[in-house]
Amino acid sequence: MTWNRNRLTEKLGIDYPIIQGPLGGLSSQRLTAAVSNLGGLGSFGALSLSPEEIKNVISQIRSLTSKPFALNLWVSMEDDGAHSSDEAAFNRSLAPLASYFAELQAPRPQYRPYSPSRFEDQARILLEEKVPVFSFIFGIPPKEILDECRAKGIVTIGTATTPDEAVAVQEAGVDAIVASGFEAGGHRGSFLRAAEDSVTGTFSLVPRIVDVVDVPVIAAGGIADARCVISAFALGAEAVQMGTAFLTCEESGASRIHRETLMQRKAEFTGLTKAFTGRLARGIQNRLMSELEQERAEILPYPLQRMLVRNLSIAAEAAGRADLMPLWAGQSANLSTCTEVSVFLNSLVEEVSEIADPLTEWSAKRRQKK
């Protein structure tokens, strides 16, 4: 048995058990297709897109690759209070940001009533287009959606931040589970308990989930190089999902200033905050994160806070101000060396291949004893 051949790679139809994290709003069709063309599984985070935009993205990815790829959605797309939040709440949350807009000489955003998107409408496009792989976080899709995925041969991958969530996801009938450790960049996808109470590290989470489910487990969170990949296999994972490691690649959808900051020493320090979006997420500790955390200002429900801070992020990016932008990153960001996806992935496969096979055989034998 070799490290890159297992039941998950067979199910997905890929050469290597390496999955590019969906990266939320930092996805790109180029990166998704490039990873898939090189034998991994490219992913695209479509949470903020309309159904028509998702359809166009799928078409564009298919024009770049004939290999399997994944589309990722958020099952829970809003928090309690999003519909009832009013202009007064908007102004209270805007207040601590006002000085930043002034510093950037950018206009303050104006209040607009919330116009929600529906997960079911987004998922319908994935079903109609018969995407190869449908991955999701922040919950479990309705039974009828998962049933239709099975009927259409769409592979489903759910996300768990605790063993209890993993059991719930398996019971729903998914094909594989991402075990997302708290080292991961971006949002915590917790759904059974508060995200603050679901912050288990990858090295503890992966073996605990492997021991309570029968479907393949994909390790995620802080995985940035061959050492991390091999460690994940030793813990019983059958694949890894890497987000920040691919974010620095030129093909990613991250801005130039975001990619450059990830390659600097300051990326060594990350933190979890709700101040950027209303949901707990990990990014590089910078002036914006520190000051908003100290202010303890009122935070709008997701996605209202995300839309508010997005206005500031656009202005800061235009001004080249990394200190005033949310910069999503995992705890291993300072290990990221990728500037070109083909060089990074080929090197990763070569390094892992040198020492991974004995560990893979050991992990496979241990699973058989369960």
pLDDT of 84-128, one tens digit each?
Answer: 999 999 999 999 999 999 999 999 999 999 999 999 999 999 999
Whose tokens are 């319908």? That residue is: 124
Local structure of 308: helix, strand or coil: helix
The whole domain housing 354 covers: 1-78+116-252+340-370
With beta carbons less than 8 A apart as the criterion, state whether 241 and 229 touch.
Answer: no
Whose tokens are 């009832």? That residue is: 84
Do 222 and 300 belong together in one domain?
A: no
Residue 186: φ, ψ to 5°:
75, -155
Q: What are 235's two structure tokens?
A: 């813990």
Q: Among 36-45, 75-84, 135-144, 354-363, whose mean pLDDT is lowest?
A: 354-363
* Count of domains forming the chain: 2
Do 171 and 273 belong together in one domain?
A: no
pLDDT at 172: 98
Residue 127 identity: L
pLDDT at 359: 64
Scored b (16 or more CB within 10 A) or e, 121-132 reads ebbebbeebebb
Q: How far apart are CA 90 and CA 278, in angstroms?
A: 13
Do 96 and 148 belong together in one domain?
A: no
With beta carbons less than 8 A apart as the criterion, state whether 359 and 230 touch.
Answer: yes
pLDDT at 267: 83
Do 51 and 155 belong together in one domain?
A: yes
Do 329 and 348 belong together in one domain?
A: no
Distance of CA 171 to CAs 29, 214, 241, Å? 32, 10, 22
Do 321 and 353 belong together in one domain?
A: no
Q: Among 3-12, 34-43, 323-332, 335-344, whose mean pLDDT is lowest?
A: 335-344
Q: What is the pLDDT of residues 22-51, one digit of tens each?
A: 998 899 999 999 999 999 999 999 999 999
Do 170 and 300 belong together in one domain?
A: no
Do 242 and 203 belong together in one domain?
A: yes
Q: How far apart are CA 1 and CA 20, in angstroms?
A: 24
Judge whether residue 337 has pLDDT over 90.
no
Do 347 and 242 belong together in one domain?
A: yes
